[in-house]
Chain A
Amino acid sequence: MIKIKNLHASIEGNEILKGINLEVKPGEVHAIMGPNGSGKSTLASVLAGREEYEVTKGSIEFLGEDLLEMEPEDRARAGMFLAFQYPVEIPGVSNINFLRTAINEMREKKGMEPMSGKDFLKEVKEKSKLVELDGKLNNRSVNEGFSGGEKKRNEIFQMAMLEPKLAVLDETDSGLDIDALRVVSDGVNKLKTKDNATIVITHYQRLLDHIVPDFVHVLYNGKIVKTGDKSLALKLEEKGYDWLKDEAAVTA
């Protein structure tokens, strides 16, 4: 699905990613963990196409195409989805209408008929139930006045509507209480199929109790310094990141 090779990226001249290698196949869930400042969110931003980040070296192949050459909207249309760590409030823009515009623009690009109002609303009703936002979305502006938990659930709702091939969840668990965490991860799990894949970026192990990863990667100082299965996450929870930092220092 996605092949990241020797990815280097910087912002305002500071190199943050220093050679990331990662391959994700359909049906897989990958967790990326790491201490603050290790480059986790930078990786998410580069994948989604944020312009502030400059890719200085390396390549990303997404479903056979050069991802780095694509505009953010084209990445979304190709099947990439980023659940934002800090979902943006957009006053005056309807949460539902903007999605309909986005979905119909995608369909138009693919030569499909626009979705009828009726079908769209049916879909909204069904998908909002998934994250227990049923009825709360109507007539509201994008994320405006949403609680932290509602914002994160709204991200997963949008993911459900857009049906991406690869979802990148950037610290989706941050700031969630245990109930919201359960709702969000149940939503993600229900959307999982053998054809799509998920990259879960998180600081803590607790999300991975709910969204069980096939692989756990540890990002430190702009590089993946260790890869393992879900037990690696438990080890990190128990021992912290310091032992890895030492190990990384030795290998460097």
Chain B
Amino acid sequence: MMNETVAIQTKEDFLSHFKDLDFSFDADFSKEKRDQAKEALKKLSFPTSKTEYWKYTRVNKIIKGNYQATFPEGELELDLSVPTKNCLVLINGYVSKELSWFENTKGVHFSSLSEAKEKSEAMPKKFATLSKDEEEIFSSINTAYHQDGAFLHVEKGVQTEEPFYVIHIVDSEGAVANPRNLFIMEEGSAAKVVMKTLSTEKGTSFTNMVTEAFVDRQANLSIDKVQEEGSQDYQISCEQVEQKADSVFKINTFTLGGSMVRNNLNIDLLGQHTETWLNGLYLLQNKQHVDNHTHVFHREPNCESHELYKGIMNDKSTGVFNGKVFVHREAQKTNAYQSNANMVLTDDASINSKPELEIYADDVQCSHGSTTGQLDEEALFYLRSRGMSEKSARAVLLNAFAEDVLNHISVDAVREEVEAFIDQHYQGVK
């Protein structure tokens, strides 16, 4: 009884951070979703150690923080030069018009979510229809209190080349943000999105991001997600994806920074002959904690999903991988592959890896595997004996370990950035 009272109080304290936010200007369909989510929130509570889905990630530290949901004053002290024509910059959940630049070509609608709520005809039918607001408390918090976010709608048959960058920055002590993104890929369309989360590291912050993506028949969406916040930044991020027949969806998640990062990836396969690629690379230092949870639901026959997650754990960092592939009774001829490999560099670092297959069809090809090891000392000695310094030999070996994930990156600039990160951070690592 006591615990329950405490839990309710904790939830109310946390939600009180958003009480001064003004959503009166919001579009009606969005207000309706906010109200539904608030209603759901009354019944939901924060996960505890007894909640299986959150077993290895304690959210207490996150939810007990003292936050302020505000748009920060003053100039941003970050270099945002990214090589693209389309860049939407969000600060503490709000769009910064001054820092964003993009021009829409025919059949492409890239804008802030708030602008799309006023203008887009496609949006009301889609918005908040994938997010699990009735079940997942962080999703409902986002739906109820989201400030702004990115919107991308690519019309039928339009194939875009230039990547769309969505950069979210936390930029104040106690920043709390609920950025909300919506991507709509119509039949036969194609796009690449790069989602970056950054921090100016002014103090504790919490980003609770939700992204919904609709990938229609024969459409192709690829997302490179680069998480590079600082040592006091918390992030919970959720992608809810729906794929129709013959579509391709790929997401590469790179976790390079952040104090505690949780990624929830839920992919629903609603048509035949779809292709899904989920890749991840987490490079952890100090006391960082990263938790990747993925769910792929095979509901139709002849679909394939590939999953490859790799991690390098240093210092006292901890990692969690939980990948679940669910193959419905109808989903014959499913091909589903899952692999998680980890390199643990110290005795104090650890990983909890749990690939799971739940199969109800009888004619499928599925496999899963998980490995954990250390840096190959023999290979290290070999490289050094040829005159390579210990620093660069380590970086070379770690780059090699990460390479098959890096090969999936669709935007060159992202690959260069991740490789440079490995070179810088793992030179001389013991």
* B382 lies within 8 A of A87 (CB): yes
* A101 lies within 8 A of B396 (CB): yes
Out of A76, A93, A142, A162, name the residue touching B384 (CB < 8 Å): A76
Q: In whole Å, how far is B235's beta carbon from the nearest beta carbon of chain A?
A: 29
Q: Which residues of B lie under 8 Å from residue A48 when comparing CB positions? A: 381, 385
* A84 lies within 8 A of B382 (CB): yes
Q: How large is the interface on B (under 10, 10 to 19, 20 to 34, 35 or more residues)?
A: 20 to 34
Closest to A75 in B: B385
* A102 lies within 8 A of B383 (CB): yes
* A90 lies within 8 A of B387 (CB): no
| A103 touches B (CB below 8 Å) | yes
* A102 lies within 8 A of B376 (CB): no
* A73 lies within 8 A of B387 (CB): yes
**Complex interface: stretch among B34-42, B65-73, B138-146, B397-405:** B397-405
* A73 lies within 8 A of B403 (CB): no
CA distance A125 to B404 in the complex (A): 28
| B389 touches A (CB below 8 Å) | yes
Q: In whole Å, how far is A91's beta carbon from the nearest beta carbon of chain B?
A: 7
CA distance A92 to B385 in the complex (A): 19
* A90 lies within 8 A of B390 (CB): no
Q: Which residues of A lie under 8 Å from residue B379 when comparing CB positions? A: 88, 90, 93, 142
CA distance A71 to B381 in the complex (A): 10
CA distance A77 to B378 in the complex (A): 19
Closest to A79 in B: B387
* B383 lies within 8 A of A105 (CB): no
* A73 lies within 8 A of B396 (CB): no
* A158 lies within 8 A of B397 (CB): no
Q: Which residues of A lie under 8 Å from residue B376 when comparing CB positions? A: 88, 90
Closest to A161 in B: B386
* A92 lies within 8 A of B403 (CB): yes
CA distance A228 to B385 in the complex (A): 30
CA distance A75 to B379 in the complex (A): 17
Known: A92-B403, A101-B388, A105-B389. A72 touches B396 (CB 8 A): no
* A71 lies within 8 A of B382 (CB): no
* B400 lies within 8 A of A72 (CB): no
Q: Which residues of B lie under 8 Å from residue A75 when comparing CB positions? A: 385
| B392 touches A (CB below 8 Å) | yes
Q: Which residues of B lie under 8 Å from residue A76 when comparing CB positions? A: 384-387
* A99 lies within 8 A of B400 (CB): no
Q: Which residues of A lie under 8 Å from residue B404 when comparing CB positions? A: 92
* B388 lies within 8 A of A92 (CB): no
List the interface of chain A (C-beta within 8 A of B): 48-51, 71-73, 75-77, 81-82, 84, 87-88, 90-93, 98-99, 101-103, 105-106, 141-142, 158, 162
Identify 23 residue pairs between A and B in the complex whose beta-carbon atoms are under 8 Å apart, listed by A's number.
A49-B384, A50-B381, A73-B385, A73-B390, A73-B393, A76-B385, A76-B386, A81-B385, A84-B385, A88-B378, A90-B382, A90-B397, A92-B399, A93-B379, A93-B396, A98-B396, A101-B392, A105-B388, A105-B389, A105-B392, A141-B400, A142-B379, A162-B386
A-B contact sample (6 more), CB < 8 A, given A90-B379, A90-B397, A92-B403: A51-B381, A75-B385, A88-B379, A98-B388, A106-B387, A162-B387
